[in-house]
């Protein structure tokens, strides 16, 4: 029992399962997945599809947070990337041309990478606190997105572009496949090479890791660039799904959701050890929560209250100080106070 409950993915997974089961109770057909027109349909698929952009953004955020940083600008990058792609496509004579769409997508991703690179430079080279360095782009970025779209919503009618966020491939939503590929590649890169360990070393102590010979500045810039690209892809998905670039609302508050997903997944904001699987679970928890609220008919704006409650519960459970203070007091009459945090875990979960 201890091996299961002590696992770092236990709590996010447990929360997700509980929420899915709660849905099953409310909506009996919640778990059913059907094949229609060669596509998979069902609430679970919907959660995966709608959660795709958040999973990507949170993935990039995890890498940045692992280095001890934070990227507040991802929401703005989401808006800029979608705005640029739609602006380029809407300017083409044949919006359905695959080559034109590819060029637009490539340029949007390059711009996203440049924006991430810019953040990285400020953090690693100029030495500004990450939260402030990325605040600049967070504030200015949405203005830039509106500059690209001239303050209007740009509608596009392009089947190839629609594929990215709303299309299907091999019976699965294309966006879900993209996320799976990016997660798998990132997982390989950080766990099958030394990259992940180096990132954790930087997050643990940037100065010490530089002294032992890790090129921490270069890796930090790389992390922010990767985060920018992830946000860029997410921006393409969101704008493609609704065939519209909305510079004002696309990716609004996404940085907060992404940071939440990372924290719910069990990666500490202080940097160091990180878990990609946890982040994916965290993103799914947030998306499931939103979907649940929609299906139960509560006004969507009220979702925020539930989100606050979930955040509070998950963060408090994961806080060693909270566990020590609340649970130790209660357990004292039965057993002597636990000497180590590990012992406290056993009592909590018993």
Partner 1 sequence: MTTLGMRGPVRIRREHAAVLVTFGLLVAMFAAGSIVYPGFGSGQVVVDLFIDNGFLLVIAIGMTFVILTGGIDLSVGAVAALSAMLCAFLLEQWHWPVAAVLPLVLLVGIGFGFGMGYVIHHFEIQPFIATLAGMFLARGLCFVISIDQISITNPFFTEWAQTRIPLGEETNLTPTVLIGLAVLAGAFWTLHYTRFGRAVYAIGGSAQSALLMGLPVARTRIGAYMVSGLCSSLGGLLFAFYTISASGLHEVGTELDAIAAVVIGGTLLTGGSGYVVGTALGVMLLGTIQTMLRFQGTLSSWWTRIAIGVLLLLFILLQRLLGSSRTRR
Contact with partner 1 (CB under 8 A): which of 54, 63, 80, 260?
260
Taking CB under 8 A as the criterion, the residue among 302, 335, 342, 350 binding partner 1 is: 302
User: Residue 132 or 208: which CB sits closer to partner 1?
Assistant: 132
* List of long-range contacts for 162-166, beta carbons under 8 Å, 24+ apart: 162/240, 162/243, 163/240, 164/105, 164/236, 164/237, 164/240, 165/52, 165/53, 165/236, 165/237, 165/238, 165/239, 165/240, 165/241, 165/242, 166/240, 166/241, 166/243
40 forms beta bridges with: 35
Under rule CB under 8 A, residue 79 binds partner 1? no
* Helix boundaries (H) for the chain: 2-5, 10-26, 43-66, 74-90, 98-121, 130-149, 159-166, 174-191, 195-204, 206-211, 216-242, 254-264, 276-296, 303-318, 320-331, 341-349
Shortest distance, position 254 Cβ to partner 1, whole Å? 13
Q: For the CB of residue 147, give the shortest distance to partner 1 in the complex, in Å.
A: 6
Counting contacts by CB under 8 A, is residue 297 touching partner 1? no
Minimum distance, C-beta of residue 248 to partner 1, in the bound complex (Å) = 9
> Pattern 323-342, binding to partner 1, x per CB under 8 A?
--x-----------------
Tokens coding 266? 């069990």
Asked if residues 76 and 82 have their Cβ atoms less than 8 Å apart, the reply is no
Residue with tokens 């939103």: 290
The one among 9, 97, 128, 277 contacting partner 1 by CB under 8 A = 128
CB atoms within 10 A of CB 340: 8
Give the angle subtended at the CA of 277 by the CAs of 274 and 279, to the nearest 5°.
Answer: 70
CB nearer to partner 1: pick between 60 and 165: 60
Give the one residue of 24, 189, 208, 305 binding partner 1; rule: CB under 8 A.
Answer: 305
How many Cβ atoms are within 10 Å of 248's Cβ, its own excluded? Answer: 13
Q: Which stretch binds partner 1 (CB under 8 A): 8-16, 32-40, 184-192, 300-308?
A: 300-308
Residue from 53, 100, 116, 141 in contact with partner 1 (CB under 8 A): 141
Question: Quick one: DSSP state of residue 31?
Answer: G
Does 317 interact with partner 1 (rule: CB under 8 A)?
no
The single residue among 306, 328, 345, 346 that binds partner 1, judged by CB under 8 A, is 306
* Count of residues interacting with partner 1 (CB under 8 A): 48
Residues in 194-213 at the binding interface with partner 1, rule: CB under 8 A: none
Residues present in the chain in total: 350
State which of residues 6, 143, 337, 341 lies at the interface with partner 1 (CB under 8 A).
Answer: 143
SS (H, E, C) 278-313: HHHHHHHHHHHHHHHHHHHCCCHHHHHHHHHHHHHH
For 169, the enclosing helix (H) or strand (E) is: strand 168-169
Q: Is 350 in the site for partner 1 (CB under 8 A)?
A: no
Binding mask 212-251 for partner 1 (x = CB under 8 A): -----------------------------------x----
Identify the burial level of 57 via C-beta atoms within 10 angstroms of its C-beta, where 0-12 means exposed, 13-18 middle and 19 or more buried: buried
For residue 297, give both structure tokens. 């008919």
The single residue among 21, 24, 35, 139 that binds partner 1, judged by CB under 8 A, is: 139
Q: Which of 269, 335, 342, 350 binds partner 1 (CB under 8 A)?
A: 269
Binding mask 48-77 for partner 1 (x = CB under 8 A): ----------------------x-------
Contact region with partner 1 (CB under 8 A), list: 33-41, 96-104, 223-231, 313-321: 313-321
- Residues forming contacts to partner 1 in the complex (CB under 8 A) are 70, 126-129, 131-133, 135-144, 146-147, 150-151, 247, 256, 259-260, 263, 269-270, 299, 301-309, 311-312, 315-316, 319-322, 325
């Amino acid at each position: 029992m201890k091996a299961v409950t002590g696992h770092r993915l236990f709590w996010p997974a447990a929360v997700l399962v509980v929420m899915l089961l709660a849905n099953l109770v409310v909506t009996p057909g919640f778990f059913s997945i059907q094949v229609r027109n060669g596509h998979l349909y069902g609430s679970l698929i919907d959660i995966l599809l709608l959660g795709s952009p958040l999973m990507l953004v949170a993935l990039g955020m995890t890498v940045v947070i692992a280095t001890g940083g934070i990227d507040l600008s991802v929401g703005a990058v989401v808006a800029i990337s979608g705005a640029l792609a739609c602006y380029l496509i809407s300017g083409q004579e044949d919006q359905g041309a695959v080559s034109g769409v590819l060029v637009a997508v490539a340029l949007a991703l390059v711009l996203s990478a440049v924006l991430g690179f810019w953040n990285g430079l400020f953090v690693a080279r100029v030495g500004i606190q990450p939260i402030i360095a990325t605040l600049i782009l967070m504030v200015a970025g949405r203005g830039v997105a509106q500059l690209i779209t001239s303050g209007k919503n740009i509608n596009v009618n392009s089947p190839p572009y629609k594929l990215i966020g709303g299309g299907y491939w091999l019976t699965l939503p294309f966006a879900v496949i993209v996320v799976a590929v990016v997660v798998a590649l990132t997982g390989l890169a950080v766990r099958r090479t030394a990259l992940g360990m180096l990132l954790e070393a930087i997050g643990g102590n940037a100065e010490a890791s530089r002294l032992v010979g890790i090129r921490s500045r270069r890796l930090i810039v790389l992390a922010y660039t990767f985060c920018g690209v992830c946000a860029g892809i997410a921006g393409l998905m969101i704008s493609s799904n609704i065939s519209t670039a909305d510079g004002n609302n696309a990716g609004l508050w996404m940085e907060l959701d992404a940071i939440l997903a990372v924290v719910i997944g069990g990666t500490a904001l202080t940097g160091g050890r990180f878990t990609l699987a946890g982040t994916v679970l965290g993103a799914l928890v947030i998306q499931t929560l939103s979907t649940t609220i929609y299906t139960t008919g509560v006004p969507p704006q009220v979702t925020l209250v539930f989100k606050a409650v979930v955040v509070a519960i998950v963060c408090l459970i994961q806080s060693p100080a909270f566990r020590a203070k609340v649970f130790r007091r209660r357990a004292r009459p039965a057993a002597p106070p636990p000497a180590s945090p590990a012992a406290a875990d056993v009592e909590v979960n018993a």
